[in-house]
Amino acid sequence: MPFFISAVRRGIPGCLAGAVLMSCAISQQQEVELGATTAAEVSAQLPLIKDAAVVSYINTLGTQLAQATDTRDLDWTFTVVDSREVNAFALPGGWVYVNRGLIERATDMSELAGVIAHEIGHVTLRHSVQQLQQAQGANAGLVVLCTMTKVCESGVSQAAINVGGSALFAKFSRTDEAEADAEAVATTVKAGITPRGIPAMFRLLLSERQSNPSALDAFFASHPLEESRITATEALIAKYQAAQLNRLTKDTQAFQTFRRRLLALPPSPATKAP
Ligand SMILES: [Zn+2]
């Protein structure tokens, strides 16, 4: 049995027994178990950066953001994936992953914070869990599989996760993206960080797509990004008073030290084609 389906069947037994899942609410405990199982699989299949200073910084920044918005007291874990591709993704229950390639492209702390806050938003809004809850009967396992990975496109029997991370948690709707963006704006402000890094990062990624499209395939596959997301985010930011925004943090020494440390690490392993 493919890994994810067996994991889901173990994790949510009551749901799969019924013909219709609409009424099957996935508890927080089940959500965390699903996330933990999937996180173990991610650890086995993706190259993760173990450098203590890198792990410490990403968790300090991530926790600062999560604590500003999480009302469910989840146990958050933030991880840097050793991939030159640009990507970020989250698993249910509080596991957030950011590729080294995205961090190295960020120019200041607020740009990375915006991406992390967006992924936190997917978790706190339970976007993946909702997709699972809306699935029916035996298809539930496949929905999780397809939501989290691209194995549906490559054959369920070959549940290999793409090193670039494009495989994971790909299929959010534009509505989900807009909601996660709005969460990211609110969360960064609550955490004392300027939300202006969010549209700034979008602009950076859109302009890089022109010059180096393949490095961004994974990110754009999982996060539909158009000019409209930039204008929508800027409109949300414009609702805050300029004086308040100007008091928020844009960059820190700690971020620049962290970024330099990543740049100095050995090159990322070569990635498979998506
Ligand atoms: Zn997203």
- Residue 140 scores a pLDDT above 70: no
Look up residue 192 and give its two tokens: 């004392």
Q: Which amino acid does the sequence have at 14?
A: G
Residues of the chain with pLDDT > 70, as a percent, come to 73
Spacing, Cα 128 to ligand 1 middle (Å): 11
Spacing, Cα 123 to ligand 1 middle (Å): 10
What's the longest Cα–Cα distance across the chain? 57
**Lookup result for tokens 């996180």:** 39
When pLDDT is cut at 50, 70 and 90, the band that residue 158 belongs to is: very low
Spacing, Cα 254 to ligand 1 middle (Å): 26
Residue pair 93/77 in contact (Cβ under 8 Å)? The answer is no
**pLDDT: is 15 or 77 the higher one?**
77
Provide the β-strand partners of residue 81.
48, 99
Spacing, Cα 187 to ligand 1 middle (Å): 15
When pLDDT is cut at 50, 70 and 90, the band that residue 239 belongs to is: very high
Tens digits of per-residue pLDDT, 202-236? 998 888 888 877 777 777 776 667 788 999 999 99
Q: Give residue 133's pLDDT.
A: 66
C-alpha–C-alpha distance, residues 31 and 29, integer Å: 5
Spacing, Cα 18 to ligand 1 middle (Å): 30
Spacing, Cα 178 to ligand 1 middle (Å): 8
Mean pLDDT of 247-257: 98
Tens digits of per-residue pLDDT, 5-48? 334 444 444 444 333 344 457 788 888 888 888 888 888 888 99
When pLDDT is cut at 50, 70 and 90, the band that residue 171 belongs to is: low
Q: Give residue 179's pLDDT.
A: 94
Mean pLDDT of 97-113: 96
* The 3-state secondary structure of the chain, one letter per residue: CCHHHHHHHHHCHHHHHCCCCCCCCCCHHHHHHHHHHHHHHHHHHCCECCCHHHHHHHHHHHHHHHHHHCCCCCCCEEEEECCCCCCEEEECCCEEEEEHHHHHHCCCHHHHHHHHHHHHHHHHCCHHHHHHHCCCCCHHHHHHHHHHCCHHHHCCCCCCCCCCCCCCCCCCCHHHHHHHHHHHHHHHHHCCECCCHHHHHHHHHHHHHHHCHHHHHHHHHHCCCCHHHHHHHHHHHHCCCHHHHHHCECCCHHHHHHHHHHHHCCCCCCCCCC
Residue pair 215/86 in contact (Cβ under 8 Å)? The answer is yes
Spacing, Cα 90 to ligand 1 middle (Å): 9
| Number of alpha carbons in the 13 Å side-chain half-sphere of residue 1 | 10
Spacing, Cα 170 to ligand 1 middle (Å): 8
Spacing, Cα 119 to ligand 1 middle (Å): 6
- When the pLDDT of each residue in the chain is averaged and rounded to a whole number, the result is 79
Spacing, Cα 115 to ligand 1 middle (Å): 9
- Residue 177 scores a pLDDT above 70: yes
When pLDDT is cut at 50, 70 and 90, the band that residue 49 belongs to is: very high
- Residue 161 scores a pLDDT above 70: no
C-alpha–C-alpha distance, residues 169 and 158, integer Å: 17
Spacing, Cα 151 to ligand 1 middle (Å): 19
**79-113 burial, b for 16+ CB within 10 Å, e for fewer?**
bbbbbbbbbbbbbbbbbbbbbbbbbebbbbbbbbb
Q: Give the predicted TM-score (pTM) of the model.
A: 0.81
Residue pair 208/145 in contact (Cβ under 8 Å)? The answer is no
Q: Give residue 101's pLDDT.
A: 92
Spacing, Cα 122 to ligand 1 middle (Å): 7
Spacing, Cα 186 to ligand 1 middle (Å): 15
Tens digits of per-residue pLDDT, 179-210? 999 999 999 999 999 999 999 999 988 888 88
Q: Give residue 3's pLDDT.
A: 38
